[in-house]
Structure 1
Amino acid sequence: MTKPEDISFGYLLSDVTLLFRKHFDRRAERFGLTRAQWRAIKMLYRREDLRQNELAEQLEMEPIAVGRVIDRLQAAGFVERRPDPKDRRAWRLHLTPQARAVVDDMEEISRGLRRDATLGLTVDELRQTLAVLGRIKDNLQALDQADEAPPA
């Protein structure tokens, strides 16, 4: 009898991720935004006035990597840093009108890619797939937490 650990799926997940990224980048090229930049804009659109470390937590990225993304977005005119009134060492992140102007177009690109990627799937099949992937993610995150726990 086959056990779950006997079924190799890591390469397939990696391939799907790479293909999704490639096609997203190709479609979004006209805006000059990378996926990481788009994710940051999208998160700030939903929850503006975040500190950089809060944005990093929301995006599940390292703060230094988010800092580089924000630096590029600021240089391109999509994000501005404003002083935090409660902590003069910190900055709050805000979208510019330029960023707000591309949100709907970028959402349409995302929707179109999801539509193309899920062609032939039912909503129930996709929901089940997402539930399984969510459980796999939870299991892997639990491994991280176990690694970080102090020895008993």
Structure 2
Amino acid sequence: MSEPIGFLISDTARLYRRAFDARTRDSGFTSLQWRLMKHVQSGEGARHGPLAEYLEVEPITLSRMIDRLVESGLVERRPDPADRRARLLFLTPRAHALLKSIQPAAERQAEAATEGLTSEERARLLDLVRRVRSNLSRRVED
């Protein structure tokens, strides 16, 4: 009997996060914090709501995580000029340096995860996973 694709993807993601956390343990960074900060880095001025949805965490959980990153001097909350109730997230220079220092571990993790695959297979895998993600992100619950 073959495994359902959802189980396979979920189990793979869990194992990937566990291995990433082990590789970056000395940094004090978790895979969830890495994802949060990489997302903010790719779009400085991120808002809490969409970020919580992207990370699949409750807004209060995200707020607590951001509080810790603010206290650590890694993230700044700035007022949103378009909405005085909202705050936008920006990385500090310290965060950019930390992300840069962790990048080699992230690259080693990706290498380990795709060990034994040719460069063409790796490219194909990324393309297929992106397409699955795109398919799922467009779907409304049935």
* TM-score, normalized by the shorter chain, greater than 0.5: yes
Shift of 1:138: 4.2
Cα distance in 1 for residues equivalent to 2:50 and 2:6 = 30
How high is the sequence identity, in percent, across the aligned residues? Answer: 39
Q: What is residue 39 of structure 2 aligned with on the other side?
A: 43
Which stretches in structure 1 are left out of the alignment for 5+ residues? Answer: 1-5, 148-152
Q: What is residue 33 of structure 1 aligned with on the other side?
A: 29
Considering only CA atoms, is the larger Rg found in Structure 1 or Structure 2?
A: 1
Cα distance in 1 for residues equivalent to 2:131 and 2:89 = 32
**2:119 aligns with one of 119, 123, 133:** 123
Q: What is residue 71 of structure 2 aligned with on the other side?
A: 75
Cα distance in 2 for residues equivalent to 1:89 and 1:141 = 28
Q: What is residue 61 of structure 1 aligned with on the other side?
A: 56
State whether residues 40 and 89 of structure 2, in contact with CA within 8 Å, keep that contact through their aligned partners in structure 1.
Answer: yes
Shift of 1:139: 4.5
**Pairwise CA RMSD of aligned residues?**
2.3
Using a 3 Å threshold, how does the CA distance of structure 1 residues 50 and 135 change in structure 2: closer, same or farther? closer
Letter in 2 for 1:15: D
Cα distance in 1 for residues equivalent to 2:134 and 2:93 = 37
State whether residues 52 and 63 of structure 1, in contact with CA within 8 Å, keep that contact through their aligned partners in structure 2.
Answer: no
Provide the aligned length of Structure 1 versus Structure 2: 140
Q: What is residue 18 of structure 1 aligned with on the other side?
A: 14
Shift of 1:75: 2.4
Q: What is residue 87 of structure 1 aligned with on the other side?
A: 83
Secondary structure at the aligned position of 1:90 is classed as strand
Which stretches in structure 2 are left out of the alignment for 5+ residues? Answer: none
